[in-house]
Structure 1
Amino acid sequence: MSDATAVASVPMQWVGPLRITGNIAAIETEVPLATYESPLWPSVGRGARISMMVEQGIVATLVDERMTRSVLVRAQDAQTAHLAALELDARLDELRGITRTCGKFVELIGFHHEITANLLFIRFEFTTGDASGHNMTTLAADALLTHILKAIPGISYGSISGNYCTDKKATAINGILGRGKNVVTELLIPRDIVHRTLHTSAGAIADLNVRKNLIGTVLAGGIRSANAHYANMLLGFYLATGQDAANIVEGSQGMTVAEDRDGDLYFACTVPNLIVGTVGNGKGLDFVEENLTRLGCRSPREPGENARRLAVIAAATVLCGELSLLAAQTIPGELMRSHVRLERRHETTKIGG
């Protein structure tokens, strides 16, 4: 067996184009999706086609960005842990200075802490430029932990990772505080497009969203999440653009909102945990480089801007697939008919346009 790293081939298609506006950029682009679930391509393609029929397209608003890493320290008792937490709060500027020694693109923007018994969990929050930030934040957290243990009395090492981040796990704290890029996407679809292209009505989609995504998820015990299948689009997009695919776990947390506005459909997806980057591990592969370039995420811009562009494209892709699936599920038998028809094809073509 060769020691060389092999590349696993996953079928990929470019879907679209889709239209995006908002506070990051005005974009018209096709998007790459690498997946074995071949019906995903035409499903996302249908949502993309609708975005091109609406003047504003999908309005994507990036509302926050922060990558997190948590550490764990131990104290003799809860009172000592509490005093250490108060000391931490007073040293924010000092800790920011320590962080800046770890690289020019990492910045400590804040932290949260929680005490359980004699354990102090500290959740650091960073900006990381165009990197998704896994390694960058771990490096900074390690330096911060080393400094804290020397500077604050009464505490000792627990772990460089305290599971309070939370990395690659679906948790309430990520849904509340966010991890990565937090993007809200919105699309207002006129009544005639809903009927002609989705073959349903705004009221039917809004009702299904409440009964399936909201009530169904509550009954299932979902955590800060109410959507049909965000993970599908994120996995395809992540694999195609060199992201850490395991981050779809927290990425799948998000809320879909659908409203019937006098026959027009207001459709929105909030994705609070988009962990994407345009530099770093996984980005050196030829196909990733080519895909990021084609998405316009390799252009010379200020640090962080390419990653923000990638995030809003990812979030818009999520909306396209979510919209198409919910519409299909309002029609009895439509979902299964589509899967049978598309998955029995032996030849694939570019979808969308």
Structure 2
Amino acid sequence: MVEKDEIIKKLLNGDMKLHEIDKHTESVIEALDIRREFVERFANTSMEHVSKYSLNMEEAMKRNIENPIGTIQIPLGVAGPLKILGEHAEGEFYVPLATSEGALIASINRGCSTIKASGGANVRIVGDKMTRAPVIKAESVTHAVEIKKWIESNFSELKKAAEVTTRHGKLVKIDPTVVVGKYVYPRFVFTTGDSMGMNMVTIATEAALNLLTHKTGAHIIALSGNFCVDKKPSALNLIEGRGKTLVAEVKIPREIVEKKLKTTPEAVVEVNTAKNLIGSAIAGSMGFNAQYANIIGAVFLATGQDEAHIVEGSLGITTAEAVDGDLYFSVTLPDVPVATIGGGTRLETARECLEIMDAHGSGKVGKFSEILAGAVLAGELSLMGALAAGHLARAHKELGRG
């Protein structure tokens, strides 16, 4: 085997690539350590903390990471108990959140307390889908329309071709199919079980396209034509939904609003209207909410979700009403791609965090989704209460964000 110093010398001279280290070492861990030492020498820095971890990096390298040099650490806390009244989640839960933002977990915790005192959050999954939308080029607009009609008339054949590739994925529709000049954009819509399913639907869509091209002479420009819409904010996903579409609501008696949130139902309603609805509208925002991304991001990082989907989870609408003197408060999240198996959920820390909620493994994605929506409700409620009461700046100053 090549000596460590010789490998690092070749890396520094550009005579060896990072991914080639494994060919000259006896284990992936040895390669990892050499790669990190090379980076330390190249950047003239020390990665003492990056080098300390308990993850099984040999397993992680199979599906989760390339060119590893160690791991990072993010402070992890819990908020709760959060009382959920759902179809899949029923009871009280503590929610793990990975964040370095002071005051965030304290705020969510206050929301959890308010929800519990009000009897719990009513949560439902109102949509479940994962999408892939290729872009196809036709010979003319006439040919493009023919392809569109063929797709619409042969759904069962395309469904059969797609589902041959997967045990868990089901193609439920191809809609809409949009024609722009000679380009055709069909949106393949699947259910994917407990997996987030992005890889699953990509492979299945490719199989369906093989049939489509054979039958119509269409030319596939790209397997993803950005009409999916994956990892980007999108009005289409806001309306049609993607991943799990979730709604969580709570009715809070006036006396609890006054005691827990230090404000009134009417003040929360006005702040929500002025900030989340009108303020978002004049900004051209697709997120008519205060901080969905904060909670989605912290839970995603804790539980091994695809962090790029935080941008999709930031979409949504918060509503607030004064009803008979009490406060009705809800969050609607149309686009939350999550998983309890596969992907980053394989990592040991992610598994442990999911297990805090009894939400790891097969059959648990519905439960996890409802708890997540309840956590967003708690965080949103607390922040809106703080804004209505004028407490936001004080809380951040006291908890390290001054």
Q: TM exceeds 0.5?
A: yes
Following superposition, the deviation at residue 298 of structure 1 comes to 2.9
Q: Which has the higher helix share?
A: 2
CA contact (8 A) 1:217 1:226 kept: yes
Alignment correspondent of 2:232:
169
Secondary structure (helix, strand or coil) at the match of 1:343 reads coil
Alignment correspondent of 1:351:
none
**What are the within-5 Å matches in structure 2 for residues 297-336 of structure 1?**
297-298=359-360, 305-332=363-390, 334-336=391-393
TM-score norm. by structure 2 comes to: 0.82
Unaligned runs of 5+ in 2: 1-34, 37-66
Secondary structure (helix, strand or coil) at the match of 1:330 reads helix
Following superposition, the deviation at residue 27 of structure 1 comes to 2.9
Aligned-partner Cα distance in 2 for 1:108–1:98: 10
Is 1:281 the counterpart of 2:343 in the alignment?
yes
Following superposition, the deviation at residue 297 of structure 1 comes to 1.3
Alignment length, in residue pairs? 337
Aligned-partner Cα distance in 1 for 2:401–2:339: 35
Secondary structure (helix, strand or coil) at the match of 1:310 reads helix
Match of 1:82 among 134, 141, 145: 145
Higher relative contact order (CA 8 A, sep 6+): 1
* Identity fraction in percent: 37
Following superposition, the deviation at residue 280 of structure 1 comes to 1.0
Alignment correspondent of 1:69:
132
Q: Give the AA of the match of 1:82.
A: V
Aligned-partner Cα distance in 1 for 2:313–2:139: 37
Alignment correspondent of 1:14:
78
Match of 2:271 among 208, 224, 245: 208
What is the alpha-carbon root mean square deviation over aligned residues? 1.4
Deviates more, 1:105-114 or 1:139-148: 139-148
TM-score norm. by structure 1 comes to: 0.93
**What are the within-5 Å matches in structure 2 for residues 27-38 of structure 1?**
27-38=91-102
Alignment correspondent of 1:44:
108
Following superposition, the deviation at residue 138 of structure 1 comes to 1.0
Aligned-partner Cα distance in 1 for 2:401–2:132: 44
Alignment correspondent of 2:15:
none
Deviations 1:2-31 (A, max 9, x none): 454522101110110101112333131100
Alignment correspondent of 1:350:
none
Is 1:249 the counterpart of 2:307 in the alignment?
no
Aligned-partner Cα distance in 2 for 1:116–1:70: 14
Secondary structure (helix, strand or coil) at the match of 2:250 reads strand
CA contact (8 A) 1:24 1:62 kept: no
Aligned-partner Cα distance in 2 for 1:102–1:215: 46
Structure with the greater alpha carbon radius of gyration: 2
Aligned-partner Cα distance in 2 for 1:121–1:22: 36
CA contact (8 A) 1:68 1:137 kept: yes
Unaligned runs of 5+ in 1: 346-353
Match of 1:268 among 330, 337, 341: 330
CA contact (8 A) 1:201 1:263 kept: no
Match of 1:114 among 168, 175, 178: 178
